[in-house]
Each structure stands twice: as C-alpha cells, then as structure tokens.
Structure 1
Amino acid sequence: MAENYFRQKLRTLLESAGVTIDGPNPWDIRVLDDRFYKRVLTEAHLGIGEAYMDGWWECEALDEFFYRVLRKGLDKKVSGMPRLLSSLAGKIVNLQHPARAFIVGETHYNIGNDLYRAMLDKQMIYSCGYWHNARNLDEAQEQKLRLVFDKLMLKPGMHLLDIGCGWGGAARFAAENYGVRVTGITISSEQEKLAREYCAGLPVEIRLVDYRSQKGTYDRIYSIGMFEHVGHKNYRAYFQTVRNALAPDGLFLLHTIGSNRTGTNTDKWTSKYIFPNSMLPSATHITRASEELLVMEDWHSFGHDYSLTLKAWNDNIEKHLPTLERSYDERFFRMWRYYLLSAAGSFRARNVQLWQILYSQSGIEGPFEVPR
C-alpha cells in the first residue's frame, strides 16, 4: 500500500513537468527497482542521485530530465529534511575552516589527471566556457579567458594572482598572450604538480597554499571557479584578503557559480560525492561581503553557457570510456555522468547561475566599456 502511494505521488509530480515513467521521450525515466519511489520522495536529491548510482533507474537524456524537473520546481516538493539538516550544519560549523581547506583538493581535484585530461579542453580549464561565437569547447574556453583578461585590462609586466589556479591553463594563457607574470595558488597537490610542468619556462609560479595564507601585492587578481569552496562564514575574510593583496589601482575579477537563494545549506549529494564542504553564494552573500572593501564595476551573468560546457565535458568522458575504464569502475562513471548532466540541466533551467563580477580597489576613473 505504501509503495503504491509513493509510486503514484512521484508519477503525478513528474507528469506535471512533462516527464513520464517508462515513456517514449529521451527525458522520460525507466524505473528498475520499486524502492526508487520512496527513496526519492524521502531523501530528495541525495536519494535520487544514489539511486541512479545504484542502477535503480535510467534516463537517456539526464540533462533534459533535470531541466524539466527543476524548471517546474519539483525539487521544492519533496522531503525537506536533508536540506534542513545541511542548513543547520552550515550555520553552526565553519565547514571551510582553514584546517579543512585541503579536503576538496584531496577528494575531488586529486581523483586523477587522466580523467581531467580526457574531459576538459586542451588547456584543462575546469570552469564555465564562454560560448559567444564559439564552435567547440576549446574555443569556448579561450573566449572565456580572453573575456576575463580583457575585463582586467592587462598590460605587459603586470603581476597577477590566480586564486584557485587549477592545472595552470589560465596562468599560462595570460603569461603567453598578455606578457604578464602570474602567481597561481591551489589546494590540490595533483594540480600543483601538473601546473608546474605546464607552465615551465614561463613567468608563472605555482604554490600549494590556501588563499588565506598567500602574501604579496598584485596589480590584478582573478579567481575562476574557486569561490564555491569558500563558504559563507569566510566570505568577508576572502574579500578582505583580496583587498589587502590588491594594488591601489588594481582590479579583481570573480568568476563563480551562484545561487538564486541566500542560505547556508549545500546540496547533500554534491557535497557527499563531488565537492565536500562546498556551497553556492547568492548575490546577497557577495554584495554584503564585498561592501566597503571593493568597488563593484560590473556584474555579468551567462549561466546557460555552463549547460553547454557540462554537456561537452560529458561527451568527452563518453568518448574516452574505453581508455578510462582501465582506472575507474562503472559506479564511478554513473556518479560522474549524473554529476555533469544533472548540473547541465540545472543551469539550463536557471536554477543556478554563472557570474563574472569585476571589482576595483577605489573605482575606475573615466569611461570604461566592459568587454562582452
């Protein structure tokens, strides 16, 4: 009786979003284990994600499924208990305390450089591309880097700080194309090692250090896809660190995923399997934390581009499966596919956003047309 209740309730919810159980469309789902219905309705995203990893359901087009579900707001109509518990944890504990700073590097970015080489573009940029006039992932990532550095108005000889430098692709691109010197910092030992190799012979220094420990003064600072690991208890300290490191006439660009809602919770499935201790900042988080420290010059939103980027990453993983299968098992690939395509659907539904925010130390003098 209870199973029939859960089955009927979920069926009704999904049909309101245009999704049919065992339907003919690529975004329809096939349920392979009847325990699926209760698990989804009582455990929300954690439940549906783990059920997919366990092989309890299938979907030909996961991104399309999540686009429809999230666009209809069905995530707000299932159990709120996991969200409540994570919200309380985020309020009480500083999940991104310096003592925990390297956890995400060890558990996510250190998974294996072979995986990221297969998935990413030729420069190994692990953040949203900019698909304006771009025909493929390589072009989209180059467009994004040019967008960042043109907004920062780079000049030869400047010294840049790259907070969260990844595998060094952005630092190398800046050094080679703009004649600047770059200091990149990361919390991943695997990224540090590869970034040093990738940037060898260029005026680029790579450091394995938390952003709160960096020292020096820089003409320009940028942070691409790292702010999601900072946490609301540390936002003010983050912007204070940037202000202290930025030259008086300096510029800072923040590239981050953003939430439509201000809160302290993080998605339970994502935190457990992909990005430990992560949380998405809201516009309110960012403006409050940066107020009176820096002058906001521009706010650019292009979240739909992330759905295109994530789908391109997933296509690359599928293309390289025969090689990657030597190092990773089927459950890992189901987890990774779910991660990439559920996120793609979320960005397409505008459930989450992608922002580039440009700051100055004391205000840009004279007219300034922000590149697009």
Structure 2
Amino acid sequence: MTSDPRIGPIALPHSRARRVLESLLEGSGVTLNGEAPWDPQIYHPDFCSRILRQGTLGLGEAYMEGWWECERIDEMARRLLLHGLGERARPPSDRLMYRLQSGLLNLQSKARAYMVGETHYDLGNDLFKRMLDPTMCYSCGYWKDARTLHEAQLAKLELTCRKLELSEGMHVLDIGCGWGSFAEYAARHYGVSVTGITISREQASLAQRRCADLPVDIRLQDYRELTGSYDRIVSIGMFEHVGHRNYGAYFETVERLLADRGLFLLHTIGSNSSDIYVDPWIERYIFPNGVLPSIRQIADASEGLLLMEDWQNFGPDYDATLMAWLGNLDTQWHEIADRYGERVQRMFRYYLLICAGAFRARDLQLWQIIYSRGRSCRYDAPR
C-alpha cells in the first residue's frame, strides 16, 4: 500500500489536473488535504490526473491501493453527490460504452446470471456472517421503531410477511432467497412452505443448512427456469441484477407463477433516473452486470400484467443499515484478516461508505412494491 499515515498526506504538485479537480470541487465543501473529516488526504502524486482520467473507477481503485484516505468517506460521497459531481464524474465515453454494450448484449442473460454470485456472494460466508446480523439479511432493514441492526432486519421481515398477508399452509416463492433469511422467518413464524432460488452456491449451501428442519426448498436456479403456481411471491434485493432488457420477462414470469388471488412483493433499490448506466467501480468489483431500475422502468414492465397495490419508499433506512454493516465488519475484521487481506477490506469499506453517502444524499431509493392480479378484495398495506 502506498498510504502511510505516519508520513502524512503529500503536498500535491501544481498541475493542470489538480487545478481542474479543485475547480470541480469548489462549492462542494470537500477539499483535497483539507482539515474536515470528509476531506480526502492524498498520498500519491498522480492522484489528480488518475481521477480526471478514470472518474469513479479510478477513485475507487486508488482507495483500494492506498493512494488516499478519508475519515468520513460517507460524508465525502454525500457532499459530492449533492454538488452534482456524480454525473460529472462519469466520462461520456463510459456512458456511451455501457449503452453500446447493453444494446448489443443482454448483460443479464441466463448464461451470465451466475457471474454476480461467483464474484460477490460466493466470496465467503465467513465474511458475510461477520458483516450482517444473525438473520443474514443482505438488504435494507426497517428502522422505524428499531434501535439495532438485528431489530431493523427482523422488522423488515415481519413487515414483508404482513404485507403479503401470509397464512398457514400457503406456498411462497422467494426469488433471490440469499442465505434463507425470509424463507426461514416466514416458514417458522407463519407456517408457510417456501421455495427459494439463488444464483450463489455459497448462499444455497448455507440456506439449506439453516432451513433443514423447515418446509423450505432452496434451489440453485435462475428465475426464468421456474414452473408451478404460488400463493405468494417475494423478491428481496434481487431485482437489481435483472437488467432493463429483462424487466418484461421478469414480470411475465411472476404473472405466470402467481396464483389467482396471489400477492407479489418486490423489494429493490431504485434509481431517480431511467438513464441506462452503472458505476464502473461497483460493476467491476461488487455487482457485475447489476443495474438499478427506475420508477418508469418498473411501471412499464409491469403494466398490463399485474396491479400495483402499494409503493413504499424507505430509502433513508439503507444509510443506517450500511453503516451498521460497516461497524460489524470493522469490529470483527481481525478474525478474517489473514484470509482476505487489506485490499478486500478497503474494497468493502469503500463500497459500504459510498453507498451510505448515496442514500443519505437521496441519490438512491429503496422501494417495497406490492402487486396483485387485480382480482382480490381491497388491499391495505401495513406500515
């Protein structure tokens, strides 16, 4: 690592790159080598030129390599996004390249569906066990009346079950079941049977073990291969991997599988814009082929198939969730440091903190949407 706090940040060379970067930062409240906790401290003379050349990809990679430090990356990210630097940090060539790629290729096709599992979710259950709470929920908690991460995740699971109006004997499909959080909770507390699917071998293995004494069937399977009929369908934190070219096929699959008086709950991170773009650092290091949906994209894909009954946004709760995950990881990292190393630690810290800043700036949203087939009685969503 280049970073050496014992030496302190370097004096930045007087270069055109530095002048351009400082002019972009003007008014954001973020200063290179400044004194505020959200000011980045620079340890490499090529930092400015790299950021201008590579945008957010270079910023993330430079952090992983120790080129800069910052006490409050979350607050740095919030200020930069509120200043409008999110858009300006995306080189036009990057946006054009992604549009060309996604136009010519289905980046989330069945053949590519397992890539994110292999890259991220299969990284190691020992890492995720230390980052998450005992439910192993890897999605936004519900903090309305919660004081701890565990309380927030239990509240989210309970809210989801109540929104779905679960009752004993129902058969529930969980699309993107993760480590079995919802499947275990719903089967244990509501007496339902659950079929859960995931594209991660590590998730499937752990979910099968934790649900071994319950009427839960966990499968390593893509959603497009599903058959049957289900009283309820839930999808928590999976739609972000579907991709805009597949939204129609996704909702057609749900409509085909949902029983006549069934309900479907979609829990997803959402974008404020329908622009087709992904952050190159997140795409490369965290969620390959991931892309966030907009309100319009979800509405267009579901129109004519399902009736939207309720749409709740509790995006600010993701900020608290991400910061709690970071707290867990920081506290327990020493237990797995030898296996993963400093680069992976910095990668996860950066990922959690920039995402927390993005939710705090309201640049990202978290939606829970309830659909029916339009043949049931009046639906009143709990809160």
* Same fold (TM > 0.5): yes
Residue 3 of structure 1 and its aligned partner are, at CA, apart by 6.2
- Of 15-24 and 295-304, more deviation after overlay is shown by 15-24
Matched, 1:153 2:155: no
Aligned to 1:335: 347
Q: TM-score, normalised by structure 2?
A: 0.95
Aligned to 1:135: 147
Matched, 1:115 2:115: no
Matched, 1:69 2:80: yes
Distance 1:281 1:317 in 2: 28
1:98 to 106, 110, 113: 110
TM-superposition CA deviations, 1:291-323 (whole Å, max 9, x none):
000000011111111111111111111001110
Aligned to 1:282: 294
Matched, 1:310 2:310: no
* RMSD across aligned positions (CA): 1.4
2:268 to 253, 256, 259: 256
- Of 69-78 and 336-345, more deviation after overlay is shown by 69-78
Residue 350 of structure 1 and its aligned partner are, at CA, apart by 0.9
1:86 to 81, 89, 98: 98
Matched, 1:29 2:40: yes
- Partner secondary structure for residue 339 of structure 2: coil
- Partner secondary structure for residue 301 of structure 2: helix
Residue 11 of structure 1 and its aligned partner are, at CA, apart by 1.7
Checking the alignment, whether the CA contact within 8 Å between 2:74 and 2:356 is kept in structure 1 is: yes
- Partner secondary structure for residue 194 of structure 1: helix
Distance 1:158 1:41, change over 3 A: same
TM-superposition CA deviations, 1:251-295 (whole Å, max 9, x none):
000000111111222111111001111101111110000000000
Aligned to 2:337: 325
TM-superposition CA deviations, 1:69-105 (whole Å, max 9, x none):
0111112223332222122212221001101111111
Distance 2:181 2:325 in 1: 16
Distance 1:358 1:142 in 2: 19
Checking the alignment, whether the CA contact within 8 Å between 1:31 and 1:58 is kept in structure 2 is: yes
- Partner secondary structure for residue 231 of structure 2: strand
Checking the alignment, whether the CA contact within 8 Å between 2:308 and 2:370 is kept in structure 1 is: yes
Checking the alignment, whether the CA contact within 8 Å between 2:33 and 2:41 is kept in structure 1 is: yes
Checking the alignment, whether the CA contact within 8 Å between 1:259 and 1:282 is kept in structure 2 is: yes
Checking the alignment, whether the CA contact within 8 Å between 1:124 and 1:169 is kept in structure 2 is: yes
Distance 2:239 2:14 in 1: 42
Structure 1 residues not aligned, in runs of 5+ = none
Aligned to 2:71: 60
Residue 364 of structure 1 and its aligned partner are, at CA, apart by 3.7
Aligned to 2:4: none
Aligned to 1:5: 16
1:48 to 46, 55, 59: 59
Aligned residues: 371
Residue 15 of structure 1 and its aligned partner are, at CA, apart by 3.3
- Of 262-271 and 119-128, more deviation after overlay is shown by 262-271
Structure 2 residues not aligned, in runs of 5+ = 1-12
TM-superposition CA deviations, 1:99-140 (whole Å, max 9, x none):
111111111110000000000011100000011110010000
- Amino acid aligned to 1:114: D
